[in-house]
Structure 1
Amino acid sequence: MALFRILPWKALVVLSYLLLICLIVLNFYGLYSNRFYFFKFDNYILPLLAVVHFIYLFVIRFKIREMEYPDPQMRNLEYVLYIILSVYVFKAFDTLFTVLSYNDYDHHLIPETFLPIGITIFILYLVLMYVTFSLFLFRKEHIGAYDFESLNEKIDPWP
């Protein structure tokens, strides 16, 4: 069942904003060391990709408020977001594999926050992916499908 049938679109957009902000902050966190790493280049990939996600959320809000139809730019942005979702899937499974490696390092000193924060990060990624797919379905039902062949029929050239 799609989440957009339960929650209004504004709640989905706000939830996406909150999830992205939390995951960006936690992206700098090192599970094994219990420290934040701001000087690793890899930690800046997710925030850069999240910019596209933020833009897509803005476009969704704009299209709903202005009652506009989807356009090719929105379609291209959504297609880029599909690719970014694959990065979210990778990050989620990377976090899951890190959390599942807990028993491999039981003879090492692992912080007490390892499991709770690792599981939280994994769940946040899963929820973000689910909310994003719900927004895709919401866009298709409420804003419209990407049918550009009949776009000229929907536009009234006379004011």
Structure 2
Amino acid sequence: MTDMPGPHPQLPRHETPEERADRNLIELLQELRVVLTGVQIVFAFLLGVAFTSRFPYLDHFQHSTYVVTLLLTVIASAILAAPVALHRGLFHRGVKPRIVALSARLAQIGLVFLALALNGAVLLLMAIVLGRVPAVVITALTLLLFAGLWLVLPWALRQE
């Protein structure tokens, strides 16, 4: 197996702090563009659910799951879009490194809310299709999947 192309992670790039901030912001905004598309899809799905003929017949647990999941999606959307607003609001103010640092933190927090929203959608759908107990089990497994891929894997790679 060959090494991935590009600079070795231990070797410094030859860029100024301003160039680094520019590159980091561009990369972060690209990542957020992809993630926000997913948030929009989940939000659209949840909006559609409320207008189905079966929605009035959901039990209290399912209605509560729906409301919490919808709100988690709204929160994820707001947090994940905040870096764009920061950049626009502070454009040409000479604070790009601060924008990048805060935006990176907001992206991390937004991903947590997105993971919770996605798992809420799984819980809701599985509760309707399979019942509450299988829904909770399946959602616990999907939560573990997210935790493994989004938290444990990056942490383990940083430890190498």
Assess same fold via TM > 0.5: no
- What's the TM-score, normalizing by structure 1? 0.38
- What's the TM-score, normalizing by structure 2? 0.38
Which has the larger share of helix? Answer: 2
